[in-house]
Structure 1
Amino acid sequence: MTLDRRAELGEFLRSRRARLRPEEVGLIDHGARRRVPGLRREELALLAGVSVDHYVRLEQGRTLHFSESVLDAVARALRLNPVERDHLYRLARPWSGEEPPAEQHVRPGLRRLLDSAGDMPAYLLGRGTTVLAWNRQAAALITDFSALAPRDRNKARMVFLDEGMRGLYEDWPGKAADVVAYLRLDAARNPGDAEIADLIDELHQADPEFRGLWDNHELRDKTYGRYVYRHPVVGRVELGFETFRLPDDPDQALVAYTVEADSPSATALRLPAGLAAESQRV
């Protein structure tokens, strides 16, 4: 499923129109029956202060040469958040598509940083949710990445195709929604990446839950948050996470988990880390 930027742009704008009701944006609904949910194109154009024809050309992707003022006006009318606004700009601007993405490599210093993280699980995420590197604490908490084939070291593929992952996350539906929203954003950032396109196509065919979430057109960057794990050995572990993007390669993100000091989760987290150390010595 190669990303068709014109089709993606239209679907994205329609999905954002659909979530707005006339009364929410100060329009009077005269009670006429609506064939589609949300705002009509004419209403959105009115709110944005652009001609209906101009907005229709944007939504239909007839051209990718829209001015910054038009895109800003449409973003305000649709009440887009910063991530969604950047996504609109990315889709509505020309892209040469001449050079394939470069192969990603992990610097030795990053590997040393992961290994020196103590009891803190951490891993390095690349394009298309590929796990590029990890420490033994992350392997003990999530899965033994080293035992997986390189193509299977992928968070999206694991979350949807590995049954063990469904039991690992206390809120699997929330985790799945996060992964899909991030993958859609990543696909738009890297429209020429054939591996991301193949991954989306594979998951689209293999899992109806992925298809349903993909059709929602949600977008979410990986920044910080909280997940609760149900570890098979130590039970429930509540962790926060922080994400740090590499300045020289923003397609690589270091994801580090945190835990409150002296909490039950902090105590529990030491056991899988110890088990990982033992397994490495065997």
Structure 2
Amino acid sequence: MGPDQHSNDLAGFLRARRTQVTPQQVGLPTGPGHRRTPGLRREELATLAGVSIDYYTRLERGKETRPSPAVVDSLARALHLQDDEHEHLRRLAARAARTAPEPQAGTDPDAPDLAQLVGELLLKSDDFARLRERHDVRAHRPGTKHFHHPQVGDLTLGYQSMPLENTPGHRLVVYYADTTSPDHDAMVLLDMLSTPHTPEPADQADAPAHDRRPGAGRR
């Protein structure tokens, strides 16, 4: 992914987050009449962040690609970004300035394989395109996920994600269920269904239980 795309990612994130912050949230009067711009105006955000309107406009249009760490932090405060969103803004700024490490396949949003998948989803799913346009950012922390399995039905499982040593960018995700829950019973049933059944030989199946041993019936 080229530097122009990196600057566009930074610009898109700033634009999306600006439209989601209301004047009331930052203590600004809304004024009379209808506001054509959802959220904050560019000049309002520039003033809150302590940068010139021209400089911020260049940032949001992808023409300025090297915001200083102090500017990035000021914009994060003005936009009321959470910690995860603030860190994401830092990464976008580093990529726009071409100071970030090379993307890792399968894990980094800039990796070619994921970029191709995102492109396909944007074409095929209006819901995906709408959610991506919002640029919401959340860290992947322990929690629960819901599944539907055709054989055992609905499952709600907890999960933990752990980094793997000496494999940068790779993580191991473990799913689990409380042993007293119906979800655990469903997982046990699923395990039984997925375990291959090896039939006993006919002469062993017909023998008495105490004779079902290697060599039974031999003379």
Q: TM-score range by the shorter chain?
A: 0.7 to 0.9
Q: 1:226 to 1:17 in 2, by over 3 A?
A: same
Partner of 1:158: none
Partner of 1:22: 23
Higher helix share: 1
TM-score normalised by length of structure 2: 0.79
**Pairing 1:241–2:169 present:** no
Alpha-carbon deviation of 1:91? 1.6
Kindly provide the CA deviation profile for residues 61-84 of structure 1, in whole angstroms up to 9, marking residues without a partner as x.
223222111110100110111221
2 CA distance for matches of 1:63 and 1:82?
24
Partner of 2:188: 270
1 CA distance for matches of 2:16 and 2:48?
17
2 CA distance for matches of 1:268 and 1:197?
36
Partner of 1:9: 10
The structure with the larger Rg is 2
**Pairing 1:229–2:147 present:** yes
TM-score normalised by length of structure 1: 0.62
Alpha-carbon deviation of 1:6? 1.4
5+ long unaligned stretches in structure 2 = 200-219
1 CA distance for matches of 2:151 and 2:85?
40
Q: 1:26 to 1:98 in 2, by over 3 A?
A: closer
Aligned length: 196
2 CA distance for matches of 1:207 and 1:33?
32
Runs of 4+ in structure 1 deviating by more than 4 angstroms, as ranges, are 96-101
5+ long unaligned stretches in structure 1 = 104-126, 129-185
**Pairing 1:216–2:134 present:** yes
2 CA distance for matches of 1:19 and 1:236?
35
Q: 1:260 to 1:15 in 2, by over 3 A?
A: same
**Pairing 1:31–2:32 present:** yes
Whichever residue aligns with residue 112 of structure 2, its letter is A
2 CA distance for matches of 1:96 and 1:26?
35
Higher RCO (C-alpha 8 Å, min separation 6): 1
How well do the aligned residues superpose, as a CA RMSD in angstroms?
Answer: 2.5
